Amino acid sequence: MNAYLRLLSLLLPVQQRYTWLSEWNAELWHVRSESGWVPALHLLRGAVADARELRALTEKESPAGWSLTLPWLQSRIWTQSWIQPLAFPLAMFLIMACAAVYVPGSRDVLLSRSYNAPSSIVLLKDAEHPTISYATYAEWTRRRQSLFDEFAFYVVQKRYVNGEHLRVATASSNLIRMLGLGGSAADGMYLSYAAAKRLGYPSQVRLGAKMMRVQGMLPRTTLQLWDDPEAIVLADRLPAGMHGRVLGAVAPGAPDINWGFSVTQSRLPALRIHVTPLEERVLMPGRAFLFACVILLFALAGTRPLARGNGLRMPMRLRWRPAIFVGVQVLLLLASAYLGSLAIAMSMTFSRPEDATGVQAFAAFLLLLPTIRLTLRSNRHRCPCCLRKLGHPARVGQPSAAFLNWYGTELLCAQGHGMAHIPDMPTTWFSEPRWMPLDSSWAVLFSQ
């Protein structure tokens, strides 16, 4: 409570802050001790209005003389009609951007290049054992295949790279190409984003006794291979007794193998293979967010209708300004929701990044639905000229006389730009709100 009051006191001139704080702290202390926390919280709701009133009174008393510590607050820009509605989405954007940069996983996603996994690549796992032997893999590559175009094999071991203990995958030479991360196989090492950062972005590394050239960086945060390799070394041949992981590139037109399949072996029992599409283990924040946006479109229409009066009927020349204004707010909210949902997803699923997609879509939806609705609602009745909220509502007519006369509410722009007529009981001849611009002859009424 005290922190909130201190924050509000920044709205006031320096010389009045201490008195204002003492006054509110005293009131809160008394209310809290006499009536409890709930009335104290109710009381606190008035602090904003009081601070604004005091500021306005001080401004009135000495228009040129009073000053605030925060120069941007005291500037006249703050009083411009379009700044305050933009303040909420802008503040939200800044908070979410800070959160996205602060959470390590989301920061890596934002900084590293995005990776779209080829939809044909699947991870293959024996139902009995987590790994498949290199000999079995070699036999598969020799056989004529109807389901797969090719296979890749890798095995992850902890090894020292430039003195750092990393999970290094020794892989068949086609792995990088199959993953869509590079062209032809090149001798050398591929480092993950985090490992490259840890080693100081080297061009050459020492793996055991051998010096190797660093061929490229892998998008580790978005590519989740099993055993989470931090570096990949390509090799033409591996020892036959090695057990590792196998990836397959599903042939075009192959039958659906998402439920797995059996592989017969000579003189050995058949292998039951489980299949996991690589796409499921790759975080694609853009797709998750897009999915949330599509659901949002349905939800916006499906939740309580935005009521009559959404968008005034007005001449075309006046329409672009409110539309751009709402568009900027919505864009800021979309960007905030993207960053915020990414930060939430990565902080909640840090140990299992493959689960982040669902969490991100859900978080984005939860962030977007209330904020977009709030923005659309708050922009319903705005003057198209100065973008101020229309006020001074006046009820016109009677519901019983709606047959012969119109019945509804008139809203007025305080600057005298015009009036909005909003029918409370739509008729065939007056069903949508209308905007009536006032010409300069009315200016005398709005001189104050």
Partner 1 sequence: MAETGKLSHTAALILHAIAVGYRYGFSIMESTGLPSGTVYPALRRLEAEGLIRSQWEAEAIAEKEQRPPRKYYKTTAAARPVLEASRSRYPLLAALTAPAEEKERV
Residues that bind partner 1 (CB under 8 A): 22-23, 25-27, 29-31, 33, 39, 42-50, 52-54, 57
Q: How far is the CB of 10 from partner 1 (least distance, A)?
A: 18
C-beta of 27 vs 150, nearer to partner 1: 27
C-beta of 61 vs 128, nearer to partner 1: 61
Residue carrying the six token digits 């919505």: 330
C-beta of 65 vs 302, nearer to partner 1: 65
CA pair distance 68, 282, nearest whole angstrom: 50
Q: How far is the CB of 18 from partner 1 (least distance, A)?
A: 12
Specify the 3-state DSSP secondary structure of 318.
helix
CA pair distance 195, 19, nearest whole angstrom: 56
Cβ atoms < 10 Å from Cβ of 189 = 22
C-beta of 44 vs 83, nearer to partner 1: 44
Specify the 3-state DSSP secondary structure of 101.
helix
Q: How far is the CB of 58 from partner 1 (least distance, A)?
A: 10
Q: How far is the CB of 191 from partner 1 (least distance, A)?
A: 58
CA pair distance 153, 129, nearest whole angstrom: 16
Q: How far is the CB of 349 from partner 1 (least distance, A)?
A: 42
C-beta of 4 vs 320, nearer to partner 1: 4
Q: Check the CA dihedral 385-387-393-395 and report its sign.
A: positive
C-beta of 54 vs 364, nearer to partner 1: 54
Question: What DSSP character marks residue 255?
Answer: P
Cβ atoms < 10 Å from Cβ of 404 = 6
Burial class (CB in 10 A: 0-12, 13-18, 19+), 26: exposed
Largest Cα separation within the chain, whole Å, is 101
Question: What DSSP character marks residue 236?
Answer: S
Q: How far is the CB of 33 from partner 1 (least distance, A)?
A: 8
C-beta of 40 vs 156, nearer to partner 1: 40
Which tokens hold the place of 242?
Answer: 């090695």
CA pair distance 135, 128, nearest whole angstrom: 17
Q: How far is the CB of 53 from partner 1 (least distance, A)?
A: 3
Query: For residue 427, what are the CA distances in angstroms to 310, 315, 405, 424, 430?
Result: 17, 21, 10, 9, 5
Query: For residue 414, what are the CA distances in angstroms to 351, 445, 448?
Result: 56, 10, 9
Q: Which residues contact 65 (CB under 8 A, 6 or more apart)?
A: none
Nearest to 333 by CA among 376, 275, 274, 388: 376
Q: How far is the CB of 27 from partner 1 (least distance, A)?
A: 6
Q: How far is the CB of 413 from partner 1 (least distance, A)?
A: 23
C-beta of 43 vs 300, nearer to partner 1: 43
CA pair distance 246, 227, nearest whole angstrom: 12
CA pair distance 51, 68, nearest whole angstrom: 13
Q: Which residues contact 166 (CB under 8 A, 6 or more apart)?
A: 158, 159, 160, 195, 230, 231
C-beta of 39 vs 393, nearer to partner 1: 39
Cβ atoms < 10 Å from Cβ of 37 = 10
C-beta of 29 vs 160, nearer to partner 1: 29
Q: How far is the CB of 42 from partner 1 (least distance, A)?
A: 7
Q: How far is the CB of 11 from partner 1 (least distance, A)?
A: 13
C-beta of 46 vs 358, nearer to partner 1: 46
C-beta of 20 vs 154, nearer to partner 1: 20
Are 238 and 131 contacting, i.e. CB atoms less than 8 angstroms apart?
Answer: no
What is the CB-side half-sphere exposure of residue 215 using CA atoms within 13 A? 17
Q: How far is the CB of 385 from partner 1 (least distance, A)?
A: 29
